[in-house]
Structure 1
Amino acid sequence: MQRSMGARHLIMIALGGVIGSGLFLSSGYTISQAGPLGAVIAYGIGAVVVWLVMACLGELAVAYPVSGAFHIYAARAIGPATGFTTAWLYWLCWVVALGSEFTAAGILMQRWFPGVEVWVWCLVFAAALFAINAISARVFGETEFWFSLIKVAAIIALIVLGGAAIFGFTPFSAEPHPAVLFENFSTPAGLFPTGLGGVLVTALAVFYAFSGSELVGVAAGETLDPARNIPRALRSTVLRLVIFFIGAITVIAALVPYEKTGVTDSPFVTVFEYIGIPYAADIMNFVIITALLSAGNSGLFSCARMLFSLAEEGHAPRALTRLTRRGIPLVALSVSMVGGLASLISSVAAAETVYLVLVSIAGFAVVAVWMSIVASLFFHRRAFVRAGGDVASLGYRTPLFPFVPILAFVLLAISMIGVAFDPNQVAALYFGIPFVGLCYLYFWWRHGRRRSERGVDATTGAASSSSPGADVANAVAGSGVDASAAQRQGA
């Protein structure tokens, strides 16, 4: 593949994957579930978890700057079966998201074109995103940059103008509004109207809302100077997400009374109408459609790279490794688009059966993949040090090791346990855990058993090395450390 994307592309790709309908549409529901202060706290907890995961991802992405890298991390550091399972979980997560994004965008287009069927818009959007991804990685990155810029502009406008309105400054409104300050945070039922349990349940949903930030790792293989650009992109992404999400939730909670929040309208529309912005509903309809297409664009990119990487590892048909002259895995891209359209069809034809299973596994996949990332970093660093690597020479080091990966894993595990007590999310465990078990069983049957008989390394498909530290030495080399020196020191 071709390394053609810079740090600004990575930042906007990550923001494009994260900022979507969860913030623009569902943030009102979050406030209604946890209360104004509870929602801010829940997003604060989510931001901490995102930082922990991204801190772990940075070291791995610099060590293994390859395309579709999540399962590579897990395969090298934990085991090939874990890498295989991680890849299929993540691929399925985004395939389901593709179908959902197309459907939602088509429904929103009916505001302006009520006579055009939703499925027509779904096909139009699918064709447009496929073309963007099929041209080149740079065209994809540039498109995603501008898609994400529209969303970011809307959020900044909400924070700046809404923040001014909190203190009574509303120059666009025909009628002056008094300063409300943060009176809405004190509800008739107290600071936590639904109790701390409401905050916990909301925190679980917030983890899913932040999913997509890990796309920086997927794009590592097509990034210019990954040792420099990946850490920059990760730091900038986390900072922007904290400002955008917590800032937006704080403004919405301060201006929209707790009793009036919900899912019937976008809270962004409510705030912009309060401020006096003309055509607020139409503006936000355009922004939300852009947000949905941006998330779908990032999702299709991710799906194609994950399939390509699986095929390179020998865990999917070799035809998926074929590249165009511009370095695009066109076969993998086409298969992923077909999967997205199949998800779209199932959402209409089998919403209560097939689609429910797919959505449940996709929801489970987000936290499972994050757990895989932080566990991979823990085992990778430990093996790296045992192989004689010098931590000080790493291109990027996860701070406060091993505290950061351990804390991240514990918090994510708690969220998994918490899902069992939420009737709206428990289906994720019912279908997600069996899916993981089936992936492990299939891998053992298809790859592990046969390869162990032939003496072949199941991780790479190559003959097993006589040196037990060879794989770690390769990781050392990928991290910018002299591998031969590491081997002399005991690898």
Structure 2
Amino acid sequence: MDSKLNRSVIDISICSRSISDQNSSETGKESHEKKFLDKNFTTKRHLKSRHIQLIAIGGSIGTGLFVTIATGLIKGGAAGLLIATVFWTCVMLLLTSAVGEMVVQYPAPSPFVEMAGRCIDEAVECAAGWNFFLMEALYIPFEITAVSSIIDFWRDDYSAAIPISIIIALYTAINVFNVKYFGESEFWLSIGKLILCVGLLFFTLITMCGGNPAHDAFGFRYFKIDPFGSGYVTTGGLGKFEGWLGALFQANFFVVGPEYISMIANEAHYPVRKNLSTCFKTVIWRLCLFYIGGALSVGILIAYNNPTLVAANTAGESSAAASPYVIAMENLNIKVLPDIVNAIILLSALSAGNSYFFCSSRQLYSLSKRGFAPAFFQICTSSGVPIFCILVVIAFACLSFMELGTGGSLTALTYITSICTKSQMLNYLYMGVTYIAFYHACKAQGIDKSTYAYRSWFQPYSAYIVTFFLLVLCGVQGYTVFLPGWWSVEDFIFYYIMIFVNVAIYIFWKVIKRTPFRKSSEVDLVSGLKEIEEYEYEHFKIAEEAQINSDTDSEDYKKKNAKEIFNNVKTWIF
């Protein structure tokens, strides 16, 4: 009875809204059509299921999985890197499951940040929101400079300003128009990443079994050479443990969590909750395959102390020349394949930077909507693009031109991009604490979560476990600066500045606004539900009417049905 009454209310609401829209359009249609920018415009739900699936994977796989993973191998050895990756992937699995429950139920702009304000404190939301924006925005110049370095694999007789300018223009063109263009670009770029990931797994399997020019079936030979490395910082058992910690911190860089799925939730197309739920259920397992499989592969293909690998990483190479896969191919005297791998790594870096560009612009838009940034950042184009947010992100992308400098400029770029590691750890900590508060709010208000489209695992215990590990790692990451002979002001800033920045933002907002802590029984778990229910029901009615009116024997229907089957198969494959 209640569900029928709710549907009736929604029908009345939709009808009244349609009448209101019709009246307003009749009085001011001509002036509205001439508008390109308007504060009343909002982001649009144009991203379909296949876009969401591939964007989630594409944004989670960057150059780290193919190049900088070598740093973890050097520090922790083959076994150390594998165990560290498995451990961190398990942490991310549990965190992704928890965040998925909130995001699917409340697919708002930047949902995991907004829920921090609803469930904990508005000041926490402010700090978490700006932390996430800075992290995503500063990742952009990192990926742009990585693309420039990757091109050096073939030739370096050009100014780095040329590829940097082209990439910034490309990102701007993709993101300044309708969001569906971003979705399509990420869909195809992400397919390239998936092909590379699967191809490298097969390459590892084939070569280790003797399918190489030398016909050397080396198997797990390199796992037997100091499986946990020779020691990092110190020697002996303690040094091996510290090497494992170094590999764990590196895994934090290339094994990422649910932020990319969450950031596109507000622009997911009907059926929103079904698409997001499917994405959370499937993507995390695919990423497990690639992350753990990648860590296993590099340990099989090359020794942790390979001179070429150590020299390339010591020199700070971010091109394919520092990739353990490419070095292994060259050691096996395999031709052509290194060029192909480098080309796809180039596409991976482009895709990752594109995802950061999108996420940072939408996060700034969300901050403005919630009152934490100037109101003009809410202004969107008629196609739903927050144009002023895009302009700010372009300014961050221009930091990549610092690569053209020498000495201080280049060092500054290195440290600016490096602080993202701590920001990412803090971002995950915010997610864990927010879910715990969300769980207790639902329990205090007697909400039956069995009706949710997506439910998290082993709660609240898994959330407590994840949050505990994240809290410990936030403090431990960077411990080497406090060891005798290891102190460095630059390293201290790299490891801990974002903690001080977050605390400062929190205190500033707390003092200025005098925000209260939320009681579980008073947490707002209603706002936003009406809008998403109306959207879902409205599109359900449209789809239902289209189904009723369609002629199942017509050629158009058969073509449409065949296209839908093809898209479903394509989604499952990729």
Q: 442, 465, 481: which is aligned to 2:508?
A: 442
Shift in CA distance, 361/248, structure 1 to aligned 2, threshold 3 Å: closer
Shift in CA distance, 433/180, structure 1 to aligned 2, threshold 3 Å: same
Counterpart residue type for residue 139 of structure 1: Y
Which residue of structure 1 aligns with residue 297 of structure 2?
251
Which residue of structure 2 aligns with residue 97 of structure 1?
139
Displacement after TM superposition at 1:108 (Å) = 2.5
TM-score normalised by L of structure 1: 0.87
Which residue of structure 2 aligns with residue 269 of structure 1?
326
Displacement after TM superposition at 1:330 (Å) = 1.3
Post-superposition Cα deviations, 1:323-357, rounded to whole Å, max 9, x if no partner, equal 11211111111111112214643884754775466
Matched length: 461
1:412-427 alignment, distance < 5 Å: 412-423=470-481, 426-427=492-493
- How many Å separate the matches in 2 of 1:59 and 1:263? 45
Between 124-133 and 224-233, report the one with greater CA deviation. 224-233
Counterpart residue type for residue 503 of structure 2: G
Q: 407, 422, 425: which is aligned to 1:364?
A: 422
Task: Report which of the two structures shows the higher radius of gyration computed on alpha carbons.
Answer: 2
Post-superposition Cα deviations, 1:446-472, rounded to whole Å, max 9, x if no partner, equal 5x14xx7xxxx999xxxxxxx974713
Please list every run of 5 or more consecutive structure 2 residues that lacks an aligned counterpart in the other structure.
1-42, 232-239, 313-321, 534-574
Displacement after TM superposition at 1:110 (Å) = 3.7
Post-superposition Cα deviations, 1:47-90, rounded to whole Å, max 9, x if no partner, equal 10110110111011012201222321211111111111111111
Counterpart residue type for residue 216 of structure 2: P
Between 399-408 and 245-254, report the one with greater CA deviation. 245-254
Which residue of structure 2 aligns with residue 462 of structure 1?
none
- How many Å separate the matches in 1 of 2:90 and 2:466? 9
Counterpart residue type for residue 35 of structure 1: G
1:60-79 alignment, distance < 5 Å: 60-79=102-121
Q: 87, 109, 115: which is aligned to 2:151?
A: 109
Shift in CA distance, 155/332, structure 1 to aligned 2, threshold 3 Å: same
Percent identity, aligned pairs only? 24
Which residue of structure 2 aligns with residue 486 of structure 1?
none
Between 435-444 and 346-355, report the one with greater CA deviation. 346-355
Q: 264, 271, 274: which is aligned to 1:228?
A: 274
Between 308-317 and 436-445, report the one with greater CA deviation. 436-445
- How many Å separate the matches in 2 of 1:235 and 1:262? 38
Displacement after TM superposition at 1:186 (Å) = 1.0
1:370-381 alignment, distance < 5 Å: 370-381=428-439
Between 303-312 and 380-389, report the one with greater CA deviation. 380-389
Shift in CA distance, 415/332, structure 1 to aligned 2, threshold 3 Å: same
Displacement after TM superposition at 1:41 (Å) = 0.6
Displacement after TM superposition at 1:403 (Å) = 0.8
- How many Å separate the matches in 1 of 2:60 and 2:248? 16
Q: What SS class does the counterpart of residue 472 from structure 1 fall into?
A: coil
**Cα root mean square deviation, aligned:** 2.7
- How many Å separate the matches in 2 of 1:263 and 1:288? 20
Which residue of structure 2 aligns with residue 484 of structure 1?
none
Shift in CA distance, 140/108, structure 1 to aligned 2, threshold 3 Å: same
Please list every run of 5 or more consecutive structure 1 residues that lacks an aligned counterpart in the other structure.
460-466, 481-491
1:396-407 alignment, distance < 5 Å: 396-407=454-465
Q: 322, 339, 363: which is aligned to 1:306?
A: 363
TM-score normalised by L of structure 2: 0.75
1:18-417 alignment, distance < 5 Å: 18-112=60-154, 114-170=156-212, 173=213, 175=214, 177-187=215-225, 189=226, 193-194=230-231, 195-211=240-256, 213-224=258-269, 225-260=271-306, 261-262=309-310, 264=312, 265-273=322-330, 277-342=334-399, 344-345=401-402, 348=405, 350-351=408-409, 355=413, 358-417=416-475
Counterpart residue type for residue 310 of structure 1: L
- How many Å separate the matches in 1 of 2:460 and 2:272? 24
Displacement after TM superposition at 1:376 (Å) = 1.0
Q: Is the 8 A contact 1:132 1:139 kept in 2?
A: yes
Displacement after TM superposition at 1:145 (Å) = 1.4
Shift in CA distance, 476/379, structure 1 to aligned 2, threshold 3 Å: farther
Shift in CA distance, 344/89, structure 1 to aligned 2, threshold 3 Å: farther
Q: Is the 8 A contact 1:89 1:361 kept in 2?
A: no
- How many Å separate the matches in 2 of 1:135 and 1:13? 17
- How many Å separate the matches in 1 of 2:433 and 2:521? 21
Between 37-46 and 432-441, report the one with greater CA deviation. 432-441
- How many Å separate the matches in 1 of 2:113 and 2:293? 34
